[in-house]
Structure 1
């Protein structure tokens, strides 16, 4: 089965939490149906990405990465690779690569986020991000990757300055049932 098809299946099965997320899902599905490589970074103008908010099992700490290029604290994530079997696997791979943590557990798809990025030769370019919950042990020290200036665990009461999209993702993750 093609990666485009598995991406579509994940999105079709997902129950969006509200009308705005439902509209985004429809937009993502339209993109995938009209573009055979809509999941790939080679798809100019917009393409799917996979990210995850890494959270402690007791939901009181989150791991964030200070993106070296963008210079903002974000969840882990990035481009989907042809070898990824599906969106969840891509999100988990990116989480491991960007955090240096091996023992991570993939949870549910939480939210979608469409945002403009400086990516590829066409401007504007948008990431159609599919955001997952991932659980990790905050006693394990993260490792800074080439893409990050810093990676660290934060208590929910000591978060750095964050974009609203990251705050929304943290709220969705802390509200999700513990698995």
Structure 2
């Protein structure tokens, strides 16, 4: 499926939050987002469309340039999005591989730019009558990577598009605005760890939370409700690859579309600050049907339920911020305008006023008493739950 409008819009908004002074110069891009919707990712949208580039820096601080035959210029690798691309950053990595042969596994996202472009450039493209293409604009989102391998990477050029490569010092980067940004970039400090988590929501306005095992000292947030996700591993080309791998490993879950929502920061057991890339995705399945390999259970909760849970304040705030960011037309809660409408209806159509009593028993060490509901229970069958009765 093509890159979604929501994914592109969220990525651009994250970029402008860091570069608010560029809003005016990106006006054509923002207008295109408002007017063309999802079609802005299509190369046949000649009012202007999205492209993606990879800014790759080696261990000597040099920046990779390729000679684009179409323009006769040395530029950073990049090109058009394709329907199979899972994200804008994935487009940049695919183009890097196609044009130079450098695989995604040979680079890693620059810390702090895992989900946010380092630069966005708008440039004019000449008409190509033979291809039936009028003059148009490219809205080029450029992602920053470091070449992390210590051995020489074999270069296999895409001969029909690329005439050669050069590793150029930062002060010789061809495009002045990009060069100025790179010159101001602090020295590369690769974090030992980085995490990625999935903020999964459904059309009912609920969020999928994971009850972690109670293993103090062994895992983060033991015995607490949290997001699915985990730490980056060497084979992960990006933090989106990390979160997709974690979803598959922890719950057998594969989401068609994951949109970068932001980057959070947490402290690990060594008091080191670890970046956590947050990806949001919509899913309307039944968590009881998932193959859970870690933790105790998965369950849906609305933001208004969170105060009842043993959950970190940062996770609770993250869920509420995401819920608040959804527009009225796209909000999963649409159509549920009042608590009464969310209550189950009796067979005669009258509204049931249900009163429930819950007994929450917690030891000083944080362990909580739960009961396993009968498979035929009308509410949350076959799940662990606090003791409750109507």
TM-score using structure 1 length: 0.82
8 A contact 1:92–1:134 mirrored in 2: no
Question: Relative to total residues, which structure has the larger strand share, 1 or 2?
Answer: 1
8 A contact 2:32–2:47 mirrored in 1: no
8 A contact 1:66–1:151 mirrored in 2: yes
8 A contact 1:98–1:148 mirrored in 2: yes
Determine the C-alpha separation between the residues in 2 that align with 1:7 and 1:27.
Answer: 14
**Paired residue for 1:121?**
132
After superposition, where does 1:100-139 map in structure 2 within 5 Å?
100-102=101-103, 103-107=106-110, 108=113, 109-118=117-126, 121-136=132-147, 137=149, 139=152
User: Which residue of 158, 161, 168 maps to 1:145?
Assistant: 158
**Against the structure 1 CA distance between its residues 154 and 142, is the aligned structure 2 distance closer, same or farther, given a 3 Å change threshold?**
farther
Q: SS of the counterpart of 1:152?
A: strand
Unaligned 5+ runs, structure 1: none
In the TM superposition, what is the alpha-carbon distance from 1:175 to its structure 2 partner? 2.8
In the TM superposition, what is the alpha-carbon distance from 1:167 to its structure 2 partner? 3.3
Unaligned 5+ runs, structure 2: 191-390
8 A contact 1:32–1:39 mirrored in 2: no
After superposition, where does 1:15-164 map in structure 2 within 5 Å?
15-17=17-19, 19=21, 21-36=22-37, 37-58=39-60, 60-102=61-103, 103-107=106-110, 108=113, 109-118=117-126, 121-136=132-147, 137=149, 139-146=152-159, 147-156=161-170, 159=172, 162=174
Answer with 166-175 or 67-76: which moved more: 166-175
- Work out which of the two has the higher radius of gyration on C-alpha atoms and give 1 or 2: 2
TM-score using structure 2 length: 0.40
8 A contact 2:53–2:140 mirrored in 1: yes
User: Cα RMSD (Å) of the superposition?
Assistant: 2.5
Tell me the matched-pair count: 172
In the TM superposition, what is the alpha-carbon distance from 1:47 to its structure 2 partner? 0.4
Q: SS of the counterpart of 2:118?
A: strand
Determine the C-alpha separation between the residues in 1 that align with 2:91 and 2:51.
Answer: 8
Q: SS of the counterpart of 1:150?
A: strand
